[in-house]
A and B are shown apart, each in its own frame.
Chain A
Amino acid sequence: MSTPTVRARRALALGPGLAVLGVILALVAFLSITLGSRDIGLSDVLRALAGLDGSSIEHTVTVEMRVPRTLLGVLVGAALGVAGTVLQGVTRNPLADTGIMGVNSGAAAFVVLAITVLGVRGVNVYIWFAFAGAILATLLVYVIASLGREGATPVKLALAGAAVTAGMGSLTTGIVMTNVDALNELRFWQVGSLAGRYAPILSGVAPFLIAGLIASLACGRALNGLALGEDTARGLGQRVGLTRAAAFAVVAVLAGAATAACGPIVFVGLIVPHLARFICGPDYRWILPYSMLLAPIVLLLADVVGRVVAAPGELQVGVVLGVLGAPVFVGIVRYGRLSEA
């Protein structure tokens, strides 16, 4: 597996594989624009995309709803996949998911705080509080875990994450118990959905997501080092603390912005890194771009399924992923590919 020739041969196949995934993603994105709970013929979709007949309902649905939804799905999916990959790598924990780093609970707590304390209304506004909450919670986890001599070790990170998640969760529950408005807003946000998010949200979070995705691609080599164990990484001349801090910053921005925009979406960040490792082997320089393309494919497909099966209504993508993700996850475990990160 690790002889130079094998590695070269693998790389030879992985490059074109990435291109194939890119094509698949483009196809899925096209599906996401053409299929939905409203039945719109292909020719009408194409007319709408070409900007003809701007006043028609087909134009409104395609251009104002489906296109931003699809773009958001691509970015959020990529962000969750990459955040999960980086997190699993940096904590060397194959079950790490952005949820356990306090991202979801921090975001939720800030959503209800914004609603009750500041009287904020509407998803366009409170996503910024969700973003701030996610960042703050992740930061808190990192700082707590860093206390002590050996720094933020994987075990301490997991413990600090659990503690912060529990604390933020109690705060959220405490508030929504006494405030029905906050509960109703939280219900909408907490399902995890790409619906009802239009251009303002997309343009709001896109810069953070794109920046985070670009930065993540630089993490591959460092994650490879960490995967060998911290002492070995140190021996190879890597500055472990700095690497970990940088990786955490990337995770916080990616997962925070994604979760703020769409609510907590599970399973993508957990499963996709395993799929990517299954295809690529242990090299994070390949795992990261593979996760970046695989995750939005999974997310968009789930979203399309949710929109088609329940017409004229819709199932939220969070629900579809929950239903489809659980058996897939069980399958991965049974198949024995839950390899150590």
Chain B
Amino acid sequence: MRIWRPIVAAAALSLTLAACASTDTPEATPTSSGPWQFTNGNGELVKADKTPTRIIAHAGEAAALMSFGIKPVGVYADESVKTDPNLKGLDLTGIEILGQEWGKIDVEKAAALRPDLIVADWWPAEKAHSGLEEGVDEKSKKLKELAPIVGVAQGKSIADLAEGYEDLAQSLGAKVDAPEIAAAKKKYEDAVAAFKAAVAAKPNLTALAMSPADDKVYVANPEYAPELLDFQKWGLKVVNPDKPDPGFPYWENLSWENADKYQPDLILWDGRSYTDTANAEWGKKQPTWFAIKAAKADAVVSWPAYWLHTFGHFAAELDKLTVAIKAADENVGS
């Protein structure tokens, strides 16, 4: 047992760093006080006799619903709600916090809330909703017995995801034509335009999404990261790793000996572990980190890895990336 536990734990750790793909976009159904239905991320239609009002949601999904004025009764997060990028700055008073660590949900507390709907992203690669994936506490999985569960699929684009939650909010009775919502979308469109312009000015710039860890370096596979697919669609050459882990295709695992396998011009650093001093620290700690020329040149920028759910958040993150792209040297890695 002592030997096997860390493998599960390592997988669990990777799972927390994860995302997936599908083209399915749930469709909202016309709202009424009568029977309610919504197409789940896996394509199945979820029905209820009346429109749900007592909702438990995973962190980012909760933030998306709250942006449309739908307040869940309970939230579970993968980290402290104080540091979760989705929940930062949101007023959580009156919302029960059911978990602040990946894989651990207080189902007893959740049951006491008498939820009539659970909202969590659908991860097609793992065929599971957030919080119920392989590797979580078995007890957490009982959450799905409390109420119907729906979620938008983590697919090919953050825009699809954000619009999916807009549709869900609408089906739950929210008004989605508020001026703040339109403003956030406008901000997003402007941010995309600026991002595209910055990328167009650097046609040879290549980027690699990475997450260094003590025992190995993880290289993200854009195919299962909707925001990286968005970047590629807008012209940024995000490198596709050539040997993703077959069992967990979100990443290619590189030993530290092979840290310099790819030589991008810009490193997109997993935002969950990025700090301003991280690059220097890893350079000191691992003899091969600075063999990546972009790392040596400090061409690193935080990448919003697998957490975005709203146009507003994406716009803010895009602006930071655009600044980094403008400052990047497209010949560092060559």
Contact = CB atoms under 8 A, between A and B. Distances in A.
Interface in A52-104: 57, 60-61, 64-66, 99, 104
B10 A57 contact: no
Nearest to B6: A191
A191 B258 contact: no
B10 A196 contact: no
A158 to B, nearest CB: 17
Contact of A311 (B6, B214, B258, B288): B258
B42 interface: no
A60 B255 CA distance: 14
- Among A38, A104, A311, max chain B CB count under 10 A is at A38
Contacts of A15: none
Contact of B256 (A104, A195, A319): A195
A321 B256 CA distance: 21
A60 B287 CA distance: 7
A156 interface: no
B6 A65 contact: no
Contact of B216 (A61, A314, A322): A314
A188 interface: yes
Contacts of A319: 3, 6-7
Given A61-B288, A123-B214, A37 B257 contact: yes
B177 interface: no
Interface in B196-252: 213-216, 243, 245, 252
Contact of A196 (B3, B4, B215, B253): B215
A191 to B, nearest CB: 4
- Among B2, B3, B245, max chain A CB count under 10 A is at B3
B36 to A, nearest CB: 36
A314 B214 contact: no
A180 B82 CA distance: 14
Contacts of A191: 6-7, 10, 215
Contact of A266 (B2, B214, B287): B2
B3 A322 contact: yes
A312 B243 contact: yes
Given A99-B2, A195-B215, A196-B215, A65 B258 contact: no
Interface in A173-197: 180, 184, 187-188, 190-193, 195-196
Contacts of A37: 255, 257-258
B106 interface: no
Contact of A307 (B10, B213, B255): B255
B255 A187 contact: no
Interface string B1-22: 0111111011001000000000
A316 interface: yes
Interface residues of A, number: 37
Contacts of B258: 37-38, 311-313
A122 interface: yes
A312 B252 contact: yes
Contacts of B288: 57, 60-61, 65
A106 interface: no
A29 B4 CA distance: 27
A188 B257 contact: no
B163 interface: no
A123 B256 CA distance: 15
Nearest to A316: B215
Given A187-B6, A312-B255, A198 B287 contact: yes
Interface in A23-40: 36-38
Contacts of A38: 255, 257-258
A264 interface: yes
B261 A312 contact: yes
A318 interface: yes
Given A99-B2, A188-B215, A312-B253, A57 B260 contact: yes
B256 A196 contact: yes
A312 B7 contact: no
A187 B13 contact: yes
Given A60-B288, A311-B258, A312-B254, A196 B6 contact: no
B3 A318 contact: yes
B138 interface: no
A115 B5 CA distance: 20
B2 A187 contact: no
B255 A266 contact: no
Nearest to A195: B215
B74 to A, nearest CB: 20
- Among A57, A191, A313, A322, max chain B CB count under 10 A is at A313
Given A38-B258, A104-B2, A190-B6, 17 more contacts: A37-B257, A38-B255, A57-B260, A57-B291, A61-B288, A123-B214, A188-B213, A188-B214, A191-B215, A264-B2, A311-B255, A312-B255, A313-B252, A313-B253, A314-B255, A319-B6, A321-B3
20 contacts: A37-B255, A38-B258, A57-B260, A61-B288, A65-B257, A65-B288, A66-B257, A187-B13, A188-B213, A188-B215, A192-B3, A193-B215, A195-B216, A196-B256, A196-B286, A310-B253, A312-B261, A318-B3, A319-B3, A319-B6
Which 3 A-B residue pairings sit nearest by Cβ, starting from the closest?
A: A313-B253, A322-B3, A38-B257
